Structure 1
Amino acid sequence: MVERQVRKRVGVVMGGSSGERDVSLRSGAAVAEALEARGYDVVRITLGDRFGAELCATLQRARLDAAFLALHGRLGEDGCVQGVLELAQVPYTGSSVLASALAMDKLKAKEMFRLHNVPTPPYYTVGANQDLEELDAVHGSFGFPVIVKPRGEGSSLGVTKAGSLEELKSALALAFEFDDAAIVERFVAGTEVNVGILDGKVLGAIEIVPKKGLYDYEAKYTPGMTEYHMPARLPPTRYRGVLNLAERAAQALGCTGAVRVDLLVTGGENEYVLEVNTLPGMTQTSLLPKIAEAAGYEFGDLCEAILASARLHQPVRRRAPAASELRLSERGQAEKRLRLVKSAI
């Protein structure tokens, strides 16, 4: 149980304009109800398609102590809303602007994984402006089957398994409906395992067995479409290795707060990180609540624990600058602007 010393006015931010809007609304409603039941003064903030000015105005009126982000997908999970909250000086749940952006961008996340020696399936990228008639040369000896994903979407939206060049073209066309770039990833046969992390503490790993074989959007959010095994059915030594790998993946991106790491565990004693989610779903079929429950957190406990981690991520100045320093800084900025103007003439 999380102890709270003061009654907080909390904004639960949900909705948005991504393809995951419906999931976000369900997550937000569940979180708001749980926090209200525990005595918090909850303000439900439902964002629409064009929510920049809307969010700023709402934050000004609401006078929040903290924002609980129940957003998913583009503009909500990729650092944009996090940036607005940093500027508004409203502490928020989840990761920083940078970590959120890295995790949401599948290409940049994979590059960070490789930099930190975190194994991830081989891949290449295709842009929407590339000529798909040249795809055979681009794909080369990469082989089939492959998994095709939009570069910057979540919840498995637009994800397809392709077993031939023609199927690959169709899969890319679907991915381009969600993004201007796609990731073509080598298919790895294995068991999908998700690991939950809360404030740097690994909670456990759940095994996912989708009835259709592919853990797509329908399998994720339709009750009865997927079987879950908690804890994941792995030997103890390998289970600990999976938890350690998930922790390393989250650290590679600089993620904080509540995190879910998606991995593949193969029969050949290999593990691969697929992605890291900085704002995991909080619906009745979501994985983080299932993992947290096995670790001793009721849903309300989990919501309070996530809320307790809300903070601003920008560095705090250790001391106020002296007046002389401010004058020097202002003069330096003025001289810099003058040089730019002169160079443009």
Structure 2
Amino acid sequence: MKILILCGGTSSEKEVSIWSAENVYQSLVNTEYQVEMVDIARLTPYELCQKILCNNFDVVFPVLHGKPGEDGSIQGFLDTIGVKYIGSGVFSCAITMDKYRFKLVCKSLGFPQPDFVAIRSKDDVDLVFDFLKLKGFPLVVKPNSQGSSVGVSIVGSKDELESALESAFNYDPIVLVEEFIRGKEITCGIIGNREPIALPLVEILPKTKFFDYESKYNPLLCDEIVPARLKESLKNRLQELAISSYKAFDCRSFGRVDMFVDSYENIYLSEINTIPGLTANSLFTKEVKAAGYTFPEIVKLLVKQALED
């Protein structure tokens, strides 16, 4: 069987994508599979199509973060040329990458989430100030379609708010301003298609102001406790929300659901990552280990599921 790993690209998360892809590659290279890794930034769409079809790859593994790999673009391309791939489909990737639309759907489905306001330009700042009157500082400012906390700020004053909005608009034409949830940040890895299972929860304790890009990929800047230090009833509620939201957005193969828990044990759904980080230090990788699997075992399982689905 021939497997092609796609990585890199042009997004702000391309380096993380390459680190993740190398970890996946090392898990497959000395197995019964023939595996190759390619940076999609080095090929035109036509060249990529030729490479996949002319070399008869059986499965493609998009290990891509941000656009175009995590927003449904690559998935639509692979659907068009009729090639099986690991991970969620076009709809799941597109809607979960678009934080604003994701939140609107969550609201309609009754999934609890932090209150927010979306703005499309700096001229909409009055909406933010109205929201501020209701929620107060601190607030979370984030671009609509970035991952790894790129462009995200926690603001505690009006002076910080202006620079945070400017930073977020550098990444996306839509910016979200959310209420800040005081409590624990919890993430839950999911594996499976029609009957997904939840991996052990991770409790995230950043040593920086919040779980930003640097603390996500520098183990010295964050403590990640697996399994999370929570009572069983709360763990069960978190895992149930993770699975129900994963299924509601028609995710498949694997993913990671990020949540918050406040001091009253209220749970808030933050986002779903359809292609979570797969580096040796990534949250998903740590959850796999805590569940008693090796990383190569999970990668092989994902390949098997892609062929069966």
TM band (smaller chain) = over 0.9
Give the alignment partner of residue 40 of structure 1, picking from 15, 33, 44. 33
Structure-1 separation of matches of 2:170 and 2:218: 22
Q: Name the counterpart of 1:17.
A: 10
Alignment of 1:201 with 2:204, yes or no, is: no
**Take 2:65 and 2:48, find their aligned partners in 1: how far apart are those partners?**
16
Q: 5 Å matches for 1:62-101? A: 62-101=55-94
Which residue does the alignment assign to 2:271? 275
The answer to whether the 8 A contact 2:140-2:178 is kept is yes
Residue type of the partner of 1:235?
Answer: K
Cα distance 1:138–1:201, how it changes in 2: closer, same or farther (>3 A)? closer
The number of residue pairs the alignment matches comes to 306
Give the direction of change, closer, same or farther, for the CA distance of 1:167–1:312 in structure 2 (3 Å limit).
farther
The residue correspondences of 1:250-329 to structure 2 (distance < 5 A) are 250-310=246-306
Cα deviation digits, residues 293-313 of structure 1 (max 9, x gap): 111210101111122222598
Q: Which amino acid aligns with 1:308?
A: K
Contact 2:5/2:21, CA 8 A, preserved across alignment = yes
Q: Which residues of 2 match residues 113-262 of structure 1 at below 5 A?
A: 113-128=106-121, 130=123, 132=125, 136-137=129-130, 139-199=132-192, 200-262=196-258
**Cα distance between partner residues in 2 of 1:231 and 1:256:** 23
Deviation, 1:57, is 2.7
Q: Distance in 1 between matches of 2:135 and 2:262?
A: 20
SS in 2 for 1:256: coil
Cα distance in 2 for residues equivalent to 1:208 and 1:102: 25
1:121-142 deviation digits (Å, cap 9, x = unpaired): 0001111363547753575434
Residue identity opposite 1:241 in structure 2: R
1:139-178 CA-to-partner distances (Å, cap 9, x unmatched) read: 5434211111110010110010011222111111111111
Q: Answer yes or no: is the 8 Å Cα contact 1:68–1:310 preserved in 2.
A: no
Q: Which residue of 2 aligns with 1:338?
A: none
- 1:98 counterpart SS class: helix
C-alpha separation in 2, matches of 1:191 and 1:135: 25
Tell whether the 8 Å contact from 2:128 to 2:177 is kept in structure 1 after alignment: no
Any idea what the Cα deviations from partners look like across 1:87-140, whole Å, max 9, x if unmatched? 111101111100110110101111121121110100011113635477535754
| Amino acid paired to 2:213 | Y
Gap runs ≥5 in structure 1: 1-7, 314-345
Task: State the match for 1:316 in structure 2.
Answer: none
Aligned 8 A contact 1:59 1:88 in 2 = no
CA distance in 2 between partners of 1:205 and 1:115 (Å) = 26
Describe the shift of the 1:171–1:205 C-alpha distance in structure 2 as closer, same or farther (beyond 3 A).
Answer: same
Contact map agreement 2:119 2:125 (CA 8 A) in 1: no
Q: Is the 8 A contact 2:72 2:93 kept in 1?
A: yes
2:62 counterpart letter in structure 1: L
Distance across 1 between alignment mates of 2:263 and 2:135:
22
Query: Is there any run of 5+ residues in structure 2 with no aligned partner, and where?
Result: none
Deviates more, 1:52-61 or 1:182-191: 52-61
Structure 1 distance, partners of 2:47, 2:132, is 44
- Residue pair 2:119, 2:127 contacting (<8 A) in 1 also: no
Compute the TM-score of the two structures, normalised by the length of structure 2: 0.94
Separation in structure 2 between the aligned mates of residue 247 and residue 36 of structure 1, nearest angstrom:
31
Which structure has the greater CA radius of gyration? 1
Percent identity between the aligned chains? 35
The structural deviation recorded for 1:11 is: 0.3
Q: Give me the whole-angstrom Cα distance separating, in 2, the residues matched to 1:311 and 1:84.
A: 18
| Dislocated runs of 4+, deviation >4 Å | 131-135, 137-140
CA distance in 2, matches of 1:32, 1:178: 30
Amino acid aligned to 1:195: C
Given residue 307 of structure 1, which amino acid in structure 2 is its aligned partner? V
